[in-house]
Amino acid sequence: MTQTPEPISGPAPLDPRSRLQGQTGTTEAGTLWLIAVPIGNLEDITLRALRLLRSVSCIACEDTRSTRQLLKLLDVTPPLLLSCHEHNEKERAQDLIQRLEQGEDIALVSDAGTPSVSDPGYPVVRQVIEAGFAVSPIPGACAAISALCASGLPTNRFRFIGFLSAKGGSRRTQLQELVEAQETLMFYESPHRLGKFLSDASEIFGASRPAVVARELTKKYEEFRRGTLGQLAQHPGITRGEVVVLIQGQSEAERIENTDINALIAEVKALNLSPSASAKALSKRCHLSRQEAYELLQQNRG
């Protein structure tokens, strides 16, 4: 059923909030707003995000200098800015909870995109929820989703991985664990490691696996490089700017090619089924016709 959008003019709609019972009566608690900000193009800020950035009592941000500059560009007078990064967010959460208890509305933002998606924010969100306060997302820019929808790779199933280890051995191990994934895989990678990442991925996933490198999304020099992992590894392109790498999931043909047929035959034979039932079971496991499965079983009798 189609929902009617909220009006963008007039009084701001009230969102459900927690209620705290104090000694002097009931006090309305504040809300923690998770506000997505542009990843490049300033026009990607939403009207709702702007309204809230102008109305909250404070903004918890990854880098106060970056956020102050962003607010200036958006023509938003900065409220109190509190640093909230990976080294202090657990402690900062307690300060934010005290402010919420006093009825303050707080915005949580990262330097770019959606907070807590491969950026600081999760520990804060977790503690605020556990303390019983409302947490509400303000949707907006996200580099991974933006890259996916324009990649040309399957979008019906996808898995966000984010950054892998910077160490070559650990990165290769992490990639190996994803070889059989059938979803489109989405990675973030730093520009100076892109070549090594693509080289490792080409070797582990196979040089023929379709992939896309997206960089500088929504900016002047936005670029999508599409091809196979082998092609992209040979020519990774300009290695600067924010990078998203997308790799198509394992195809059915690849899965069958990499399947250990002998192991599946042994598995089916151990079930002690009739020849017809065994052929049916093997055909499902190998995606073969029942006749082909029967012939394989006959060839491996004993």
pLDDT tens digits, 164-191: 999 999 999 999 999 989 999 999 999 9
| pLDDT of the residue at 2 | 45
Residue 95 has pLDDT above 70, yes or no: yes
Q: Which of 111, 141, 171 is the last residue of a domain?
A: 141
- Kindly give, in sequence order, each residue whose CB lies less than 8 Å from that of residue 226, ignoring residues fewer than 6 positions away: 151, 152, 210, 211, 212
- The answer on 135 and 220 residing in a single domain is no
Asked if residue 148 and residue 119 are part of one domain, the reply reads no
Structural domains in the chain (count): 3
The 10 Å Cβ neighbour count of residue 84 is 29
Over 50: is that where the pLDDT of 68 sits? yes
Q: For residue 4, tell me if it sits in a domain.
A: no
Looking at residue 31, its amino acid is T
Task: Kindly write down the DSSP assignment for every residue of 2-13, as one continuous string.
Answer: PPPPPPSSSSPP
Instruction: Answer whether residue 11 is part of any domain.
Output: no
- What's the pLDDT score for residue 53? 97
Residue 126 shares a structural domain with residue 160 = no
The residue that leads in pLDDT, 126 or 255, is 126
Residue 130 resides in a domain: yes
- Pairing, β 134-138 against β 31-35: parallel
Q: Which residue has the higher pLDDT, 22 or 254?
A: 254
Indicate if the pLDDT at residue 20 is higher than 50: no
The domain that contains 159 carries what CATH number?
3.30.950.10
Residues 174 and 272 in one domain: no
The last residue of one of the domains, among 81, 107, 141, is: 141
111 and 154 share one domain: no
Residue 18 forms part of a structural domain: no
What percent of the chain has a predicted confidence (pLDDT) above 70? 88
* 162 and 249 co-located in one domain: yes
Question: For position 125, which CATH number holds?
Answer: 3.40.1010.10
Domain extent, residue 275, equals 259-299
Does residue 19 fall inside a structural domain? no
**pLDDT recorded at residue 257:** 66
Residue 12 lies in a domain: no
Q: Residue 209: which pLDDT band, with cuts at 50, 70 and 90?
A: very high
Residue 5 pLDDT > 80: no
Q: Of 108, 141, 174, which closes a domain? A: 141
- 269 pLDDT more than 50: yes
Are residues 136 and 149 located together in one domain of the fold?
no
> Residue 232, SS3?
helix
Residue 166 to residue 131: CA distance in whole angstroms:
35
* Residue 56 and residue 116 in one domain: yes
In a domain? residue 194: yes
Determine, yes or no, domain membership for 193. yes
Give the global pTM. Answer: 0.77
The verdict on 224 and 203 lying in the same domain is: yes
